[in-house]
Structure 1
Amino acid sequence: MAVRTGIARWIMMMLCIATIAGCSHKPPEKPVPVIPPTAEKAPQPMRGVWLTTVSRLDWPPVASVRAAPQQRIEMQKRAMTDKLDNLVRLGVNTVFFQVKPDGTALYHSAILPWSEVLTGTVGEDPGYDPLAFVLQEAHKRGLKVHAWLNPYRVTMNTRPATVAALEHTRYNSPSSVWVTHRDWIRIASDRYVLDPGLPEVRDWITSVVTELLERYNVDGIQFDDYFYYETPQSPLDDTQTWRRYGQAYADKASWRRNNTLLLIKQVSTAIKAKKPAVEFGVSPAGVWRNQSDDPRGSDTRGAAAYDQASADTRQWVALGLLDYIAPQLYWPFSREVARYDELARWWARVVKPTHTRLYIGVALYKVGTPSRTEPDWTIEEGVPELKRQLDLNDKVPEISGTILFREDYLNQPQNAAAVNYLRSRWGH
């Protein structure tokens, strides 16, 4: 018995030694922890700001364009980092930077000429890459950057000086789309625009987005609400395009809406194929349709994206083409034609059965500004109205955050009380 016990002890000792020796070469695998869904970290709410470059509304500083080249670059960079620092203090986490305000770019492109907002001249190299600079400085500060594009606009006016500037780009590389594809250009709302009914135009816009993704580490791509953009005084003349491509449709309006759908489908597919992690979103007018025109619409009486811009934004959400939608709800709670709470809850119902996130665009530009039809923006300097809107955004589960329009209003004296409130609510 003693012998067997001794042998058993010896065998056990040898097994332990072998085990230890094996462990010295390969440590035992740790079990993979199973994290229940309830333990996952909730995504941070969107706290965004649109930073507008068209007409230099937010950036770059107008005075910088008149400065000597090196001073201009320094002024523009300093102005941008000052803005980013201010956004961080405010508690903003995402900047929607307008990189394509028209048919030009604020980044290095082989398709679009440089924007005149940078130097005063279309196509002139600014001496640095603004988008690359914004990405570097924003990411360093923990801010995300969505590249904001106007897909169809070519210019802000049709003045002879504007035409001459576009024509002059034929001596540059790249030239303006005005030069390379003059047959795509139409007039609408007293501006030069691309014809959305042309398949080549949709391909061109998609190539602009694809190039942007290939060259820059942006966190998102956003289109604004300018799709079919016309006024009764300056309608888009797309009759020839309609005759060529639209005869299978019951009416021109249905054909136009299909054209915008095709663009969104094409761009969405391209983004997911190129960089699936990049978010694709649209910021449309706040009213999809009014109930008086469609029982599925909101209880409002405002201009509707479906009818005015030929943008069936509700359909885009239902089809899963967007990662997020950011409707512009630029009215107070008391505005009967388009109540903020009515529209916010309507959009919440639209996104609820989908995977599309809902961010609400809020009218910072109206805060503190007297208005006969919307007096709430000046009651106690607009802070109670702003608080009501942000409270609702936080309360409704389907609303994933807020985007303020627009950045420069954070610096306006009439907004001081509202900015202090935002800092106390969002700031660190």
Structure 2
Amino acid sequence: MKKHYRRLICTLLSFLMIVCTFTFSGAKTEPWSPYQKYIPNETPVVKRHLRGAWISTVVNLDWPSVDTRKIENPSERIRKSKEELVEILDNAVAMNLNAVFFQVSPEGDAFYKSDIVPWSRYLTGTFGKDPGFDPLEFAVEEAHKRNLEIHAWFNPYRVSMNTNDSTISSLKIPKSVYNEHPEWIKTSMSRFVVDPGIPEARQWVIDRVMEVVKKYDVDGVHFDDYFYYEQYVGELKDQDTYNKYNKGQFSNIGDFRRNNTYLLVKELSQKIRASKPWVKFGISPSGVWGNKSDGHSDGSNTNASFTNYDSCFADTKKWVKEELIDYIAPQIYFTFANPRAPYGEVASWWADVCRGRNVHLYIGQAFYKINDDSDQYFKGENAVPELTRQLKFNAVKPEIMGTVMFRFMNFKDSGKQQAVNAVKNDLWSKKA
């Protein structure tokens, strides 16, 4: 009898071991599992959270449309331009956004009345041609009517989107930096850019920004990630700049370059705070500051091919630590499953950097990638759940103070309407 019970108990134990082994070996760990506490089932209600979107004007991506730019009748073009911008701002309100990041100087030009640089070619099709109204003045007025913050977004160094003959010809006009300071111009990524290592060129960037700060009632000044922007390190061919301006200060050109971007940010920060301390100064770098795998012991557990520190020569972490900027909005354009730069790892790293600093952390979100990317988690039935996870994470993670979507016209894409509806009807259904 005892033998029978022992055999039965042994059989039951063996069965339980098999069940446990099967259960644990079959348990699925998702890429977002380590961050589950920041991804609740119910959408959290957040009372204070920046919700923004970028309005790109370069090559007429978001505003004005190419068709409107081409209208020959000036009054009709102005009417249609204003109509399109009002529609964008109305849509921002409908989606419960509270901020827009309006590109006012994409290539050493102006979407505002400037004494320093020419009118943008993207307003009329002709570089330097007066559009007949002041787009930034109109945008500020209409944004504020709708209780939207408006941040003036500058590309500090880019001068053109290509280097072809017709572009060169168009740049030979008054106030064009290409025309007036050819000694500042370099070529990188098949574009003309201003060399960031030349002190007078740095001052030119600061003067352009301060012209807007002083003349317009903007809520913020915004830079994107284009500092040293190269296909490969050294493409800019700025060894001569290093030789001329380094004056024995730095033993290598990399540190010299990082100091140039640091000086731009520091000097501009001081100017804005002295002039209008309520105007926020923020920067949106690429997602990864530096990889631990590249020898940065304080970097993220990533393997990104393009980083702030080593590719853009922008020590964005230093800018946060010294509180030179009011907010940082890293472009974390990855999914939680990205093998080289997972969303959770990168966002958490930035949260650690910003903790205890008087610098807001907003996350730049890759709305443009939804159903338009090779990553399976941005596609099909995975897309809305991934966006949902990211926006919930941003709302719950205490150091993250907001989200900025790239970019505005992607809200109209037919393949992204499920995601738009998820934002409108659930994720951002209540105002913040």
TM-score in same-fold range (> 0.5): yes
Give the letter aligned to residue 177 of structure 1. Answer: V
The verdict on how the C-alpha distance between 1:101 and 1:211 changes in structure 2, with shifts beyond 3 A counting, is same
How far, CA to CA, are the matches of 1:393 and 1:426 in structure 2?
A: 12
Aligned pair partner of 1:355 in 350, 353, 358: 358
How far, CA to CA, are the matches of 1:179 and 1:261 in structure 2?
A: 27
Match of 2:230 in 1: 230
How far, CA to CA, are the matches of 2:335 and 2:298 in structure 1?
A: 22
- Secondary structure of the 2:104 match is strand
How far, CA to CA, are the matches of 2:382 and 2:126 in structure 1?
A: 40
After TM superposition, the structure 1 = structure 2 runs for residues 58-69 of structure 1, keeping only pairs within 5 Å, are: 58-67=62-71, 68-69=73-74
Give the letter aligned to residue 139 of structure 1. Answer: H
The verdict on how the C-alpha distance between 1:280 and 1:120 changes in structure 2, with shifts beyond 3 A counting, is same
If asked which structure has higher relative contact order (CA below 8 Å, sep 6+), I would say 2
Moved more, 380-389 or 131-140: 380-389
Contact 2:222 2:283 in 1 (8 A): yes
RMSD (Å), alpha carbons = 1.3
Structure 2's unaligned 5+ residue stretches are 1-45
Moved more, 175-184 or 264-273: 175-184
Contact 2:233 2:311 in 1 (8 A): no
Q: Does 1:46 align with 2:47?
A: no
Q: Once the 2 structures are TM-superposed, how far is the Cα of residue 368 of structure 1 from its aligned partner?
A: 1.8
Aligned pair partner of 1:332 in 306, 331, 335: 335
Contact 1:381 1:415 in 2 (8 A): no
Q: Once the 2 structures are TM-superposed, how far is the Cα of residue 427 of structure 1 from its aligned partner?
A: 3.5
Q: Once the 2 structures are TM-superposed, how far is the Cα of residue 353 of structure 1 from its aligned partner?
A: 2.3
How far, CA to CA, are the matches of 1:65 and 1:398 in structure 2?
A: 41
Give the letter aligned to residue 303 of structure 2. Answer: R
How far, CA to CA, are the matches of 1:48 and 1:178 in structure 2?
A: 33
Match of 2:19 in 1: none
Q: Once the 2 structures are TM-superposed, how far is the Cα of residue 63 of structure 1 from its aligned partner?
A: 0.5
Q: Once the 2 structures are TM-superposed, how far is the Cα of residue 232 of structure 1 from its aligned partner?
A: 2.7
Deviations along 1:274-322, one digit per CA (max 9) or x if unpaired, are 1000000000010000011211000000021100000000000001101
Q: Does 1:380 align with 2:415?
A: no
Deviations along 1:247-284, one digit per CA (max 9) or x if unpaired, are 32111001100000000001100100110000000000
After TM superposition, the structure 1 = structure 2 runs for residues 29-428 of structure 1, keeping only pairs within 5 Å, are: 44-67=48-71, 68-167=73-172, 169-170=173-174, 175-232=175-232, 235-246=235-246, 247-292=248-293, 293-302=295-304, 303-371=306-374, 374-380=375-381, 382-424=383-425, 425-428=427-430
**What TM-score results when the alignment is normalised by the length of structure 2?**
0.86
How far, CA to CA, are the matches of 1:232 and 1:298 in structure 2?
A: 22
Residues paired across the two proteins, number: 380
Structure 1's unaligned 5+ residue stretches are 1-41
How far, CA to CA, are the matches of 1:232 and 1:145 in structure 2?
A: 34
Deviations along 1:358-407, one digit per CA (max 9) or x if unpaired, are 00000000012251xx1011142611000000111011100001000000
- Between Structure 1 and Structure 2, whose CA radius of gyration is higher? 1
Q: Once the 2 structures are TM-superposed, how far is the Cα of residue 237 of structure 1 from its aligned partner?
A: 1.2
Give the letter aligned to residue 301 of structure 2. Answer: D
Q: Percent identity?
A: 46
Contact 1:364 1:404 in 2 (8 A): yes
Deviations along 1:304-361, one digit per CA (max 9) or x if unpaired, are 1100000000000001101000000000000020000101110000000211000000
- Secondary structure of the 2:147 match is coil
Contact 1:190 1:234 in 2 (8 A): no
Match of 1:7 in 2: none
- Secondary structure of the 1:360 match is strand
Match of 1:13 in 2: none
Q: Once the 2 structures are TM-superposed, how far is the Cα of residue 181 of structure 1 from its aligned partner?
A: 1.2
Q: Once the 2 structures are TM-superposed, how far is the Cα of residue 58 of structure 1 from its aligned partner?
A: 0.7
- Secondary structure of the 1:338 match is coil
Contact 1:206 1:267 in 2 (8 A): yes
Give the letter aligned to residue 169 of structure 2. Answer: A
List structure 1 runs of 4+ shifted beyond 4 angstroms: none
Contact 1:150 1:223 in 2 (8 A): yes
Contact 2:284 2:331 in 1 (8 A): yes
How far, CA to CA, are the matches of 2:384 and 2:417 in structure 1?
A: 10
Q: Once the 2 structures are TM-superposed, how far is the Cα of residue 234 of structure 1 from its aligned partner?
A: 8.0
Contact 1:50 1:407 in 2 (8 A): yes
- Secondary structure of the 2:418 match is helix
